[in-house]
C-alpha cells in the first residue's frame, strides 16, 4: 500500500502540472493580446476557463505537496483529489444523462470519449480512496525526507529553482513556437489524452538518448556497463547476470541512469568528466537534428509524427540545459553537479576515487582489501551524514574484514549504523543484508541482526541472491538455529560458486568461507 501511495503522490503532481499549463497558456494569450482587440465574449470565456482550470489544479497540487511533505491534512487532500479524478472520469457518462435538448453530440460519440484516459482516472481515483481511507494512512512517511545538502556539492535551492523555471518556461515556449509553426503549415497540435501519452513517450525517448550518450562514451573510454535505467525499465547485473525489472511505481518517472564502472580504477578524472558530459551533449546534438527533421517534415513520410518529434526536440534541448545545472533531484547528482565536484577536487575527489575503486572490483581482480583506505578515511572527515557517509563506512568495514582485521571492521560497521540512525536514510532492501551480516558476524548481536532482518522484510525484497542467503545464514547462526543456518548457507554458497571471477565476487566467497568456519566451529563445540 505504501508503494501505491507513493505512485499516487507522483500522479497527483503530474495532474497538477498538466492542469497548471492551461492557466499558463491563458496568461500567455492575454499578454500577447494587450494591443489587439479581442471580443469581450472571448475574454469572458478565457477568464471562466482560467478560473475553472485553476480550481481543478488546487486539489491535485495540495494533495501532491501535503502527501510528499507528510502534512497533517495530507489524507484530506488526497481523498479530495481522488474524488475529483472519479468525477472527471464519469463526466462523459454524466453528460449522456442530460436531457436531449442539452446534448450536442450523439450518445455513441460521447460514450466513445469514455475511453482509456477516463478508465485510468476512474481506477486511480478508486485506488486513491482505498489507499488513503484508513486514518493511519499517513502514519508512515510516504516520501522519505530528502537528505541534507552536503557542503561543497555545488547544489543549492537557488539552482533548484532556476532548473524548475528553465524546465517549465522552456516547455511552454517550445510548445508555443511549435503550435504556431504547425498552424502556419496546416498541421494541428493534438490535445487531450494523446498529448499526455506523447509527452510521456517523448520523455522516455529523451532519457534513452541521454543515457545512451553516457554509455557510448563510457565504453569507448574502456568502462563496463553494469546498469541501464529508463523510467520504470531497469536493467541491472545482479549476481553476475543481467536482470530486467519493470517498476510500475516509476511509470511517471522520466529519470534514468547508466551504471558504468572503470576497468582502470586510477583513470584520469577527465575520463569521468567526458563521460558525464556525454549525456547532455547527446541531447543537444539529437535535439538539433530532430528540430531540423520537424522543420522539413511537411510532405515527408514521417509528417504524421511531427508532434512527437517536436516534443522530443523541445525536451532534449531542455534536458541539455537543466542537466548541466548542479542539482540533486533525489539521491543522485546531475551530470553538472558531478562535473563540478570532479573539477573542485578535495574531499569530492577522494569520494570519486573510492567509488571508482569499488566499481572496478565488479570487473577486475581487485578486492575490498585493495581499497585506498587513506582516501576513504580522508573522505569520512567531510562526509559524516547521508548516503555517501554510510557507504564510506561500509567500504572501510569491507577493507578491514578482507584483511582479517575483525575488530577494525566491527568499529567501521558500528560507525555505519550510527550514520543510519542520525540520517534516517531510505535504504533499499538489498542494502539491509549488509546490516544483518555485520550485526550477526561482526558484532555478534542476535537482537540487532533480527531487527535489521525485520526492516529488510518490511521492504518486501524481490531479489534473493548471494547477499540475501548470507545474511539469513548469519542471522540463524547467531540465533543458535544451526540447521537452518546451514541450509541457508548451502543455498547461498551454491550461487556464490557460480559468480564470475571478479574481485567483489571473490570477497563474497570469502565471507561465505568465514561464516562456514563459524558454523562448523559451533557444531564441533556442541558435539564436544
Domain assignment present for 32: yes
Output the domain CATH number for residue 367. 1.25.40
Domain assignment present for 360: yes
- Is the pLDDT at 301 greater than 50? The verdict is yes
Task: Check whether residue 237 and residue 268 sit in a common domain.
Answer: yes
Task: Check whether residue 73 and residue 163 sit in a common domain.
Answer: no
Alpha helices in 133-268 (DSSP H): 157-184, 193-220
Return the top range by mean pLDDT from 147-156, 163-172, 195-204, 209-218: 209-218
Lowest mean pLDDT among 128-137, 312-321, 403-412: 128-137
Q: Which of 331, 365, 387 is the last residue of a domain?
A: 331
pLDDT digits (tens, 9 = 90+) for 478-512: 999 999 999 999 999 999 999 999 999 999 999 99
User: What DSSP line would sit under 283-330, residue for residue?
Assistant: HHHHHHHHHHHHHT-TTSTTGGGHHHHHHHHHHHHHHHHHHTS---SS
**What range defines the domain where residue 522 resides?**
341-527
Total structural domains within the chain: 3
Task: Check whether residue 275 and residue 353 sit in a common domain.
Answer: no
d(CA 209, CA 275): 14
Domain assignment present for 145: no
- Is the pLDDT at 112 greater than 70? The verdict is no
Task: Check whether residue 327 and residue 356 sit in a common domain.
Answer: no
Residue 512, all three cell numbers: 561465505
Domain assignment present for 455: yes
Could you tell me which of 430, 433, 434, 445 has the C-alpha nearest to residue 477?
Answer: 445
pLDDT digits (tens, 9 = 90+) for 387-443: 888 999 999 999 999 999 999 999 999 999 998 877 656 778 888 999 999 999 999
Q: What is the pLDDT of residue 86?
A: 86
Is residue 452 within 8 Å of 417, Cβ to Cβ? no
- Is the pLDDT at 45 greater than 90? The verdict is no
Could you tell me which of 125, 131, 21 has the C-alpha nearest to residue 81?
Answer: 125
Task: Check whether residue 470 and residue 402 sit in a common domain.
Answer: yes
Integer angstrom CA distances of residue 130 from 1, 2, 15, 137, 146: 9, 12, 19, 10, 27
Task: Check whether residue 301 and residue 246 sit in a common domain.
Answer: yes
Domain assignment present for 22: yes
Q: What is the pLDDT of residue 34?
A: 52
Task: Check whether residue 119 and residue 54 sit in a common domain.
Answer: yes
Mean pLDDT, residues 32-60:
65
d(CA 65, CA 315): 25
Task: Check whether residue 359 and residue 436 sit in a common domain.
Answer: yes
Domain assignment present for 175: yes
Task: Check whether residue 35 and residue 116 sit in a common domain.
Answer: yes
Q: What is the pLDDT of residue 512?
A: 96
- Is the pLDDT at 256 greater than 50? The verdict is yes
Task: Check whether residue 295 and residue 347 sit in a common domain.
Answer: no
Mean pLDDT, residues 240-247:
88
Where does residue 222 rank: exposed (0-12), middle (13-18), buried (19+ CB within 10 A)? exposed
Burial 433-449 (b: 16+ CB within 10 A, else e): bbbbbbbbbbeeebebb
Return the sign of the alpha-carbon dihedral for residues 493, 496, 501, 506.
Answer: negative
Domain assignment present for 136: no
Q: What is the pLDDT of residue 197?
A: 80
Q: Which residue has the higher pLDDT, 18 or 47?
A: 18
Q: Which residue has the higher pLDDT, 413 or 47?
A: 413
Mean confidence (pLDDT) of the chain: 84
d(CA 271, CA 248): 35
pLDDT band at 292 (very low <50, low <70, confident <90, very high): very high
Domain assignment present for 151: no
d(CA 357, CA 350): 11
Task: Check whether residue 312 and residue 166 sit in a common domain.
Answer: yes
Distance of CA 82 to the CA centre of its chain: 24
pLDDT band at 103 (very low <50, low <70, confident <90, very high): very low
Task: Check whether residue 326 and residue 367 sit in a common domain.
Answer: no
Q: Which of 311, 331, 351 is the last residue of a domain?
A: 331
Q: What is the pLDDT of residue 490?
A: 96
Q: What is the pLDDT of residue 117?
A: 66
Q: What is the pTM of this model?
A: 0.79
Return the sign of the alpha-carbon dihedral for residues 152, 153, 154, 156.
Answer: negative
Q: Which of 312, 331, 350 is the last residue of a domain?
A: 331
pLDDT digits (tens, 9 = 90+) for 368-397: 999 999 999 999 988 888 888 899 999 999
- Is the pLDDT at 111 greater than 50? The verdict is no
pLDDT digits (tens, 9 = 90+) for 23-42: 565 555 555 555 555 566 65
Amino acid at each position: 500500500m505504501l508503494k501505491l501511495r507513493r505512485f499516487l503522490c507522483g500522479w497527483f503532481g503530474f495532474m497538477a502540472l498538466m492542469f497548471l499549463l492551461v492557466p499558463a497558456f491563458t496568461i500567455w494569450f492575454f499578454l500577447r493580446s494587450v494591443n489587439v482587440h479581442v471580443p469581450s465574449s472571448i475574454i469572458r470565456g478565457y477568464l471562466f476557463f482560467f478560473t475553472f482550470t485553476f480550481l481543478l489544479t488546487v486539489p491535485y497540487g495540495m494533495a501532491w505537496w501535503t502527501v510528499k511533505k507528510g502534512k497533517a491534512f495530507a489524507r484530506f487532500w488526497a481523498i479530495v483529489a481522488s474524488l475529483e479524478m472519479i468525477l472527471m472520469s464519469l463526466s462523459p457518462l454524466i453528460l449522456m444523462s442530460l436531457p436531449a435538448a442539452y446534448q450536442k453530440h450523439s450518445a455513441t460519440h460521447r460514450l466513445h470519449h469514455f475511453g482509456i484516459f477516463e478508465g485510468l482516472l476512474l481506477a486511480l481515483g478508486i485506488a486513491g480512496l482505498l489507499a488513503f481511507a484508513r486514518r493511519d494512512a499517513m502514519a508512515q512517511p510516504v516520501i522519505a525526507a530528502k537528505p541534507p545538502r552536503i557542503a561543497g556539492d555545488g547544489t543549492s535551492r537557488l539552482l533548484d529553482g532556476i532548473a524548475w523555471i528553465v524546465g517549465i518556461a522552456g516547455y511552454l515556449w517550445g510548445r508555443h513556437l511549435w503550435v504556431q509553426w504547425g498552424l502556419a503549415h496546416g498541421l494541428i497540435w493534438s490535445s487531450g489524452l494523446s498529448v499526455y501519452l506523447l509527452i510521456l513517450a517523448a520523455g522516455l525517448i529523451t532519457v534513452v538518448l541521454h543515457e545512451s550518450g553516457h554509455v557510448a562514451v563510457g565504453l569507448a573510454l574502456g568502462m563496463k556497463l553494469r546498469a541501464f535505467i529508463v523510467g520504470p525499465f531497469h536493467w541491472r547485473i545482479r549476481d553476475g547476470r543481467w536482470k530486467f525489472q519493470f517498476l510500475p511505481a516509476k511509470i511517471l518517472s522520466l529519470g534514468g541512469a547508466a551504471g558504468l564502472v572503470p576497468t582502470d580504477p586510477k583513470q584520469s578524472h577527465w575520463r569521468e568528466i567526458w563521460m558525464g558530459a556525454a549525456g547532455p551533449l547527446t541531447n543537444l546534438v539529437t535535439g538539433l537534428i530532430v528540430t531540423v527533421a520537424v522543420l522539413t517534415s511537411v510532405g515527408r513520410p514521417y509528417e504524421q509524427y511531427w508532434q512527437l518529434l517536436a516534443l522530443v526536440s523541445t525536451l532534449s534541448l531542455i534536458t541539455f540545459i537543466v542537466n548541466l545545472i548542479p542539482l540533486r533531484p533525489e539521491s543522485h547528482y546531475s551530470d553538472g553537479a558531478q562535473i563540478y565536484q570532479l573539477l573542485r577536487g578535495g574531499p569530492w575527489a577522494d569520494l570519486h576515487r573510492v567509488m571508482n575503486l569499488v566499481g572496478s572490483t565488479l570487473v577486475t581482480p581487485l578486492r575490498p582489501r585493495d581499497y585506498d583506505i587513506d582516501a576513504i578515511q580522508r573522505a569520512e572527515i567531510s562526509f559524516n551524514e547521508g548516503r555517501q557517509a554510510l557507504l564510506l563506512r561500509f567500504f572501510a568495514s569491507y577493507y578491514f574484514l578482507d584483511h582479517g582485521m575483525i575488530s577494525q571492521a566491527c568499529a567501521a560497521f558500528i560507525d555505519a549504523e550510527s550514520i543510519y540512525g542520525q540520517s534516517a536514510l531510505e535504504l533499499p532492501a538489498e542494502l539491509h543484508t549488509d546490516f544483518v551480516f555485520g550485526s550477526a558476524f561482526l558484532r555478534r548481536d542476535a537482537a540487532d541482526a533480527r531487527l535489521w532482518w525485520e526492516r529488510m522484510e518490511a521492504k518486501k525484497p524481490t531479489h534473493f541472491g548471494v547477499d540475501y542467503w548470507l545474511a539469513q545464514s548469519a542471522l540463524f547462526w547467531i540465533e543458535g538455529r544451526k540447521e537452518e543456518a546451514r541450509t541457508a548457507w548451502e543455498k547461498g554458497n551454491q550461487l556464490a560458486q557460480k559468480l564470475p571471477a571478479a574481485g567483489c565476487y571473490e570477497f563474497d566467497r570469502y565471507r561465505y568461507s568465514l561464516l562456514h568456519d563459524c558454523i562448523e566451529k559451533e557444531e564441533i563445540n556442541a558435539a564436544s
